[in-house]
Structure 1
């Protein structure tokens, strides 16, 4: 069944054409990944599908009473947004790791991390199930637990899904079709992200070969045209030299002219017939980080560190170290203190207890995940605070290498996309030599080509790198060591993310007696919850909380019964 039908839509912003003659259908159960470089028009198309923007031309036909849930790219919620809390919302919030949301005080809402805000937004959308989900960068702030929850929910979701994402791991796990926006046009591929990349490469190579064949044929035809024109010129020259036989040669020249014009017309028609355009070569993005070679053995050392906010403990009594030249990833659930730890390393946040020492003379660069802290009234060049002509030239070259049009350097930052703002921050790091790079969600808002190139460049950086990222592929490729924040403690692991996740799975496999013990505990708790529910009215806050708890326990019971059968 067709949910939405789009026919020949166009959209301009000023003189720039964003979407050009797009036609497609969204059918029931479609799982679509919408990809393209920054500024390609992905969010514009999503807003048109949702109905927030009207196309300049074309038509959109929606099924009657179609419900569309839209997760925006930038989520910013306030305390008032949580006044209406249903049992479904509480259940989903709990599944995402946000326990006892109903009892959170106003101060707790003011301390929400980006990931916690995103989880609440997802719980609100999922608690009022739509027919079509539009998710714009849904994993930018989600921890791995949240990503895996979302992957599983999307597998079970019966409606259609459109996902705008630069997260390759997430796209591979969730979509079965790719819509690629490129230069205003839409190309559709079947399969997940990896299959799309393979198919796109194959199509490019085939089109390149056909284009080269066409160019050789074109050269041959143009050679024939040139020769015919020379013959025509020679015939007229002969006629002028032999005036006495003017009439004879005139007739002959006219016949030759007619034959040549007919031949030229046929050759031009052949060139235009089945004409192939030169295939668009993918934009190459170049990064180059330089490291200062003067550094000590230990870049960072932490002894017995504790960090609290009021009565909330993020981590306590933790010890770890980071050697110079290591590439280390920091992981943990949303709200566990990853960004806070980075701020402590940068000296922007104080410890409650303990000590962190940094290598003396170490030059540190920091890329924050928040691009909203940039001076939106300033231009990119002004924001970089460049006065030396050499540095200014280097900055312009660097931004150009990252695919930013030179004209955009003089535009106010407020008019630039989030990806373009991230590039400006990266430029500030690239034009200086650093020993330590601290990167908080560095791939947020970067397009796929830029992510892959940034991975390659960072893998060659000689200095120390500390990364917080929810991009599974990015983190797994770069970091061979981890700092894990778990149960209010920071621990160091000598392994990458894939190895760590495999270890967790192996450790979490319960033995038969453990399954039976937990099943007994769950059954006991279900009985207790049902007993309490029988004394409550269905509209009370306590009833909704217990109802959400009951649904979670019922799901857990089913999981345990399946495990019991396997054992």
Structure 2
């Protein structure tokens, strides 16, 4: 069923065409990924769909009563509200109804003479509360807290949280509201890998429609079923996930290029024929009017041809080539029994590992696990509380921080020349390789977008004397084409590469060693996908044994009498566990683990049947 239909929308800003002819049909259960270069107009389109802006032309139809959730800017909340309070505002009407039920319960206990009237009101309110899912509120909020890893933000005043922390809370709140159309602009920003993977699972089973902008290629692959690309003010639809889009776009580009070549041949042949006809007409004695008319007729036919635009087979991307300068020490870093504590709270303890020459080491872990602290240790910005860090004598480090800051008063070209000592002409030539053309090199750095700041920093690194690259979230602010260009450059880099990233495509493509921070430090000799599968297999085995043990201990508790709402909540929770086990069964290859998972799923299914029987008897 259609919930939103855009027809030939156009939008201009400052006389520039942003959207020229945009049409899009959104159905009830769509999962649509909107992609495009930075600055192509994606946010403008989202604002139009969310009715925050109006198009200059075109029409937009929406289903009557359509609810739209779009986290464009952070809403304001009362200063007394904590992060948890903000989450609960998603259920404001139901919370008020629950308070009403509690007041009625108190009245029934004290106002005996009005018991019949109070009981009738209480029954009606209870039915309404149950019909709207009131008894599931606590489990929904708990699920959101655990999924997005919000525990550390709940007790703190919302207004004191950082922008990224407030965004996480507001994302959780919007997901709890469950609008008909969920619009997400880079939803994986500020989330760690575990939270991103949970969000993927949540969105694939979401009851409404989802329209999202993301540069996370794995996220797009796992969530969306349609991709729309915004290019030159137009939308191009691809009926599949991101991998399908890549192959289909390549096929269509090749077809368009062959059609363009064939048309160019035809145009050249017609022009040659027109030239010959005119030449023959002039050489005839007397000049031939018939040949002139034929040439004129062919010219009109040539003008009527609808010209095929020459397709751009390769997107315009920064010219990235990283070179390792000088021979690197065989051992780049050695950490021996390193510990770090803040305010007497240990972050690491007894950490020992080595980074060898030409290693490609990815550092992953939850937010707050200490990834940035570990980078600062390697860079020598902080000293360990205990232990020893040895750095190779010939190590030349190039560092890319995720928080790029430049002097506000400086121009782009001045920042570049302060790091790379060349004349202005050479600087402009090198900056043009990073898509900074003409007068843009004289812009103040305060006018640069996040993506442009990242490109400027990459331009500095490419021309620096280094043999070790340390990167902190290098794909942040980069569109997909720029990420591809960066990855290709890093693939050919002959030095040592160390990076912190939440981009799984980036991690799997480039890194052969993964260091995982999770209260302890564990090194896996493989990509992120390999490390995650090893950890998951170990976790499944541990959880299976725990579940079997606790299942035996709690067997009698299942038989205890429960109220209908409690039974429904327990059934929903167990069904969610069964669904999770089914996902694990799909990806597990080990036969022993498969049998353990299957046994656990059967036991949970039996418990669900028992609870359903109790629910039927209680009605």
Determine the structure 2 residue equivalent to 1:564.
Answer: 600
Equivalent-residue separation in structure 2 for 1:105 and 1:29 (angstroms): 36
| SS of aligned partner of 1:59 | strand
Runs of 5+ in structure 1 lacking a partner? 240-252, 535-546
1:384 aligns with 2:436: no
CA contact (8 A) 1:30 1:161 kept: yes
1:77-476 residue pairs with structure 2 within 5 A?
82=83, 83-86=85-88, 87=138, 88-99=140-151, 101-102=153-154, 104-105=155-156, 114=164, 119-235=168-284, 238-239=285-286, 256-257=288-289, 260-261=292-293, 263-270=295-302, 272-285=304-317, 286-310=319-343, 312-371=345-404, 373-376=405-408, 378-386=410-418, 390=422, 392-393=424-425, 395-476=427-508
Task: Give the Å deviation of 1:263.
Answer: 4.3
> Aligned in 2, Cα 1:491/1:387: closer, same or farther, shift over 3 Å?
closer
Equivalent-residue separation in structure 2 for 1:73 and 1:164 (angstroms): 15
1:83-102 Cα offsets, whole Å, 9 max, x none, are 43424444301233333654
| SS of aligned partner of 1:438 | strand
> Aligned in 2, Cα 1:209/1:364: closer, same or farther, shift over 3 Å?
same
1:218-260 Cα offsets, whole Å, 9 max, x none, are 111111111222233334xx45xxxxxxxxxxxxx5xx43662
Residue among 523, 541, 555 paired with 1:492:
523
Task: Give the Å deviation of 1:477.
Answer: 1.3
CA contact (8 A) 2:81 2:157 kept: no
- TM, length-normalised to structure 1: 0.84
1:182-241 Cα offsets, whole Å, 9 max, x none, are 122221111111111111111111111111111111111111111222233334xx45xx
CA contact (8 A) 1:395 1:427 kept: no
Determine the structure 2 residue equivalent to 1:250.
Answer: none
Task: Give the Å deviation of 1:12.
Answer: 2.4
> Aligned in 2, Cα 1:566/1:400: closer, same or farther, shift over 3 Å?
farther
| SS of aligned partner of 2:219 | helix
CA contact (8 A) 1:91 1:551 kept: no
Equivalent-residue separation in structure 1 for 2:371 and 2:572 (angstroms): 31
Equivalent-residue separation in structure 1 for 2:432 and 2:372 (angstroms): 30
> Aligned in 2, Cα 1:320/1:26: closer, same or farther, shift over 3 Å?
same
Equivalent-residue separation in structure 1 for 2:501 and 2:556 (angstroms): 40
> Aligned in 2, Cα 1:559/1:425: closer, same or farther, shift over 3 Å?
closer
| SS of aligned partner of 1:19 | strand
Equivalent-residue separation in structure 2 for 1:85 and 1:454 (angstroms): 38
Equivalent-residue separation in structure 1 for 2:520 and 2:195 (angstroms): 20
Equivalent-residue separation in structure 2 for 1:85 and 1:7 (angstroms): 36
Bigger mean CA deviation after superposition, 384-393 or 324-333? 384-393
| SS of aligned partner of 1:509 | helix
Structure with bigger RCO (C-alpha 8 Å, 6+ apart): 1
Task: Give the Å deviation of 1:551.
Answer: 7.6
> Aligned in 2, Cα 1:548/1:467: closer, same or farther, shift over 3 Å?
farther
- Number of aligned positions between the proteins: 531
Q: CA RMSD in A?
A: 3.5
Equivalent-residue separation in structure 1 for 2:534 and 2:385 (angstroms): 32
Equivalent-residue separation in structure 2 for 1:99 and 1:109 (angstroms): 16
- TM, length-normalised to structure 2: 0.77
Equivalent-residue separation in structure 2 for 1:333 and 1:519 (angstroms): 30
CA contact (8 A) 2:360 2:511 kept: yes
1:503 aligns with 2:531: no
Task: Give the Å deviation of 1:149.
Answer: 0.5
1:538-557 residue pairs with structure 2 within 5 A?
555-556=576-577
CA contact (8 A) 1:395 1:431 kept: no
Determine the structure 2 residue equivalent to 1:538.
Answer: none
Bigger mean CA deviation after superposition, 86-95 or 188-197? 86-95
Bigger mean CA deviation after superposition, 223-232 or 548-557? 548-557
Task: Give the Å deviation of 1:33.
Answer: 1.1
CA contact (8 A) 2:74 2:170 kept: no
Bigger mean CA deviation after superposition, 134-143 or 308-317? 308-317
Determine the structure 1 residue equivalent to 2:39.
Answer: 39
Equivalent-residue separation in structure 2 for 1:473 and 1:497 (angstroms): 9
> Aligned in 2, Cα 1:521/1:18: closer, same or farther, shift over 3 Å?
farther
Bigger mean CA deviation after superposition, 391-400 or 219-228? 391-400
1:7 aligns with 2:12: no
1:401-430 Cα offsets, whole Å, 9 max, x none, are 333443322223333332122101111111
Bigger mean CA deviation after superposition, 374-383 or 519-528? 519-528
1:297-344 Cα offsets, whole Å, 9 max, x none, are 221122222223336443222212211221100011122111122122
> Aligned in 2, Cα 1:24/1:85: closer, same or farther, shift over 3 Å?
closer
| SS of aligned partner of 2:189 | coil
Equivalent-residue separation in structure 1 for 2:502 and 2:80 (angstroms): 26
